[in-house]
Amino acid sequence: MSTDRTKTAEDAPAPEGDNFVETALKLSGKSEEEARKTGAIDRADEQVEALFAEKYRTEGSPCHKAIWGDAFPTELFVPNETPTPPACDQVMEKSIDVLKKHTQAGTHYDENGKMSPQLLSDLAEAGYWGLLVPKEFGGSGAPFMAFARFLTRVATWNPTVAGTASVHGCIGAVDPLLAFGNDEQKSRFLPVLASGKRLSGFALTEPGAGSDLTALKTTATLDGDDYVVNGEKLFITNAIPGRTIAIVCHIKGKPAVLIADLPETETEEFKIAPYGIYALSHSWNNGLIFKNFRVPAKNCLIPGAGDGLTIAYHGLNRGRVALCATASGTMRVMLQNMIPWAKFRRTYGATIDTRELVRRRIGRMAGLIVACDAMTDWCAWLLDEGFRGEMECIIAKIFGSEALKEASIELFMKTHGGRSFLEGHLFGDNVHDCLAPCIYEGEGEMLGMAFFKSLVKIHGTKYFEPIGKALAKAGIKTPNPFNPAHAMALAGPSMPYFGWKLKQMIGGAQKANLKIADPKLASHAQYAANKLQRSRLDVDGLMFKYKLTLADRQCAMAELSQRLQDLIVILVTATYAARQDDELIRASADIVCQDLRRKLTGARPSGKYFKDATQLGKKIAEGGFSILDGIEELEVMQKYEA
């Protein structure tokens, strides 16, 4: 059951005063500016939390409960299968037919190498751009799980088309309007966006504002019935004349979002700032320059209530899942085209599909694909259920982008050798698009620290913040438990913390009860669940060790965060694969889970592992791997006489 997000967005009060992060930074001696700016980001996070019913917030999320909860939330790691409504199915099949027709006819790109206007128009006629728009506004109202799975299919034909659907529907203007728009705004904008007459984007990043969103400088000043916008945006996808853009800007010193229909041509007030960019080569990605650009005041989303950063954060989770789904589709194409090349390429008298290293690469890539499918399904289901899903979607984004990077370079490129760099080769022509997802929707390690911050915030607020405030009040910078004055100052505030610690030492959490028939996958899932439950002590230990200076220990936070993410991926992948009928999907999941477990333990691969991985690669090369069904093979380039 999902929340009424729009109503909640309008009613949710903005948090007042210092929050945990801001308080901790001030107590640790950080500058007023750093504490204020970091606190602003954290307040936006708190505002997003307020949009969701209490049970769907971070504390009720699967990741948080798996680590901090007394009972393991097994049911939250097993998505319910939600059938795709027939009307959505029809739109999806029509869209695939359109994409297939244009790809085979060579009309999918125009003379600039961008998605052709005819392709975009035909997709619009099929209903592609309205999949995430509710029926009452002219769309299909697809469940997000169905949409995410569909993006994987689209990516097997064209990842750029899949990515553009995410930009338009997840992080463009559609999601902000659905979550924060009033009835009039929805009625005015959404039917046009659903029809595809206008595609949308989200203008957030600026030349000096990327990961530090508090550095935004674009402003909007009220003048009569309009806001007058001045500023410059950078790296904005779908940023060309005639599109609809959500602009994040400052109104009276506070971030806000304006929905703006860009003019059909450049004007003195609105100009495109083009630049050369290697990624996103088949879509329009530009800078935008606004000089006294007028936007109707009625286009401001929830004026006086929500924060513009809140709106920005809200849509990112869907975009992160969409990225993982697209990565899975892209890797499917790579795998499908590794196999014929491996069967063709001969070295020392034998085709390389008989070589262990190549077979292991095939098995490894299959494992990455299955893990991405698992993360996509799980996160999309959580969003459909109404969960915020911040922590879970971060994991999907990081894993999906890193998997695509590894698959592209370590598995696909190295198998194809020098042919990888030929013009027209799948790798050579798209290498930047395979690497760029590590940056999209937030750079991976930065997001890993955001995951960690979400994980520790409630524990820190409850147990560590009272201790920090008591130390500050007593003027104690370095507490000494053997100093009677220090001990007295800390006695009261520290009692709840030591009570919690004693509880963990005596009993701790209940062991997870996972019911998985496949013994290998059951072992992986149980391992991950047990480790997740015990990891609360690792997290708490890091917090206790560094106390108020934890924010400066980025390396330690990133390392522990990654370990926790890997455990979640193992658990989700094992439980997902155990429900699949295809034996090769289950075997692929076993391989990637073995790989992740060795990464966590530092163990060397065993002979049995090598046998499992190479046999899997051999079976996949022989055919019958269901996830490759319907994916066309590309012609082997620069053939030679065998």
pLDDT score, position 8: 40
Dihedral class, residue 389 (left if φ above 0, else alpha if ψ from -120 to 50, else beta): left
CATH number at residue 238: 2.40.110.10
**What is the pLDDT confidence band of residue 14, given thresholds at 50, 70 and 90?**
very low
pLDDT at 37: 62
Q: Mark 97-118 as b/e (b = at least 16 C-beta within 10 Å).
A: ebbeebbeeeebbeeeebbbee
Domain assignment present for 63: no
Quote the CA–CA distance of 94 and 452 in Å, as a whole number: 42
Residues 184, 145 share a domain: yes
What does the block give as tokens for 238? 């779908």
HSE-up (13 A, CA, CB side) for residue 65: 18
- Structure confidence at residue 32 as a pLDDT band (50, 70, 90): low
Q: How far apart are CA 18 and CA 15, in angstroms?
A: 9
- For residue 277, the tally of other CB atoms under 10 A from its CB is 12
Give how far Cα 114 sits from Cα of 129, 263, 276, 281, 581, Å: 17, 20, 14, 7, 39
Q: What is the mean pLDDT of the chain?
A: 91
The band of 11, judged by pLDDT with boundaries at 50, 70 and 90, is: very low
Q: In the structure, what pLDDT confidence band is assigned to residue 560 with cuts at 50, 70 and 90?
A: very high
Better-scored residue on pLDDT, 291 or 464: 291
The predicted pLDDT at position 83 comes to 86
Q: Considering the domain boundaries, does residue 73 fall inside one?
A: no
Residues 189 and 236 in one domain: no
Asked if residue 511 belongs to a domain, the reply is no
pLDDT at 30: 57
Contact of 83 with 55, CB cutoff 8 Å: no
What percent of the chain stands above pLDDT 90? 76
Whether residue 23 has pLDDT greater than 70: no
Give the mean model confidence (pLDDT) for residues 50-54: 89
The boundaries of the domain holding residue 166 are 86-195
**Average pLDDT of span 382-398:** 97
For 316-347, b/e burial (b = at least 16 CB within 10 A) is bbbbbbbbbbbbbbbbbbbbbbbbebbeebee
If asked whether residues 94 and 171 sit together in one domain, one would say yes
In percent, the amount of the chain with pLDDT more than 70 equals 93
**Over 80: is that where the pLDDT of 641 sits?**
no
Q: What was the pLDDT predicted at 45?
A: 80
Domain at 106, CATH number: 1.10.540.10
* pLDDT score recorded for residue 280: 87
Same-domain pairing of 172 and 204: no
User: Residue 449: inside a domain, yes or no?
Assistant: no
The confidence score (pLDDT) of residue 7 equals 39
Q: What is the mean pLDDT of residues 3-19?
A: 44
Domain C-terminal end among 195, 225, 252: 195
Domains held by the chain: number: 2
**Residue 207 and residue 243 in one domain:** yes
User: Is residue 190 domain-shared with residue 205, that is, in the same domain?
Assistant: no
Residue 106 lies in a domain: yes
- With respect to residue 251, please indicate whether it lies within any of the assigned structural domains: yes
pLDDT tens digits for range 278-325: 998 899 999 999 999 999 999 999 865 457 888 888 888 999 999 999
* 242 pLDDT higher than 60: yes
Rounded Cα–Cα distance for residues 160 and 92 (Å): 16
217 and 265 share a domain? yes
User: Are 174 and 216 members of one domain?
Assistant: no
- According to the model, what pLDDT value does residue 36 have? 59
Last residue of a domain, one of 152, 173, 195: 195
- Least trusted range by pLDDT, from 37-41, 105-109, 208-212, 603-607: 37-41
pLDDT tens for residues 579-600?
999 999 999 999 999 999 999 9
Q: What share of the chain is helix, strand, coil (3-state, %, to 5)?
A: 65, 10, 25
**pLDDT for the residue 627:** 96
Q: Tell me which of 108-117, 211-220, 558-567 is least confident.
A: 211-220
Residue 409 inside a domain? The answer is no
Residue 258 falls inside a structural domain: yes
pLDDT greater than 70 at residue 13 = no
Q: Give pLDDT, residue 15.
A: 45
**What's the confidence (pLDDT) of residue 3?**
40
The DSSP secondary-structure symbol of 209 reads B
* Poorest-pLDDT segment among 228-237, 414-423, 500-509, 568-577: 500-509
Q: Are strands 244-251 and 254-261 parallel, antiparallel or unpaired?
A: antiparallel
| 224 token code pair | 């009569």
Domain check: are 131 and 190 in the same one? yes
Per the CB < 8 A criterion, the answer to whether 590 and 615 are in contact is no
Are residues 165 and 210 located together in one domain of the fold? no
Q: Please compute the mean of the pLDDT values over residues 180-190 and round it to a whole number.
A: 96
Q: Give yes or no for residue 440 having a pLDDT over 70.
A: yes
Buried b (16+ CB within 10 A) or exposed e, 483-501: eeebeebbeebbeebeeee
If asked whether residues 183 and 93 sit together in one domain, one would say yes
Mean pLDDT, to the nearest integer, of 177-197? 96
164 and 121 assigned to the same domain: yes
Q: Which of 153, 178, 195 is the last residue of a domain?
A: 195
Measured distance CA(443)–CA(636) in Å, rounded: 34
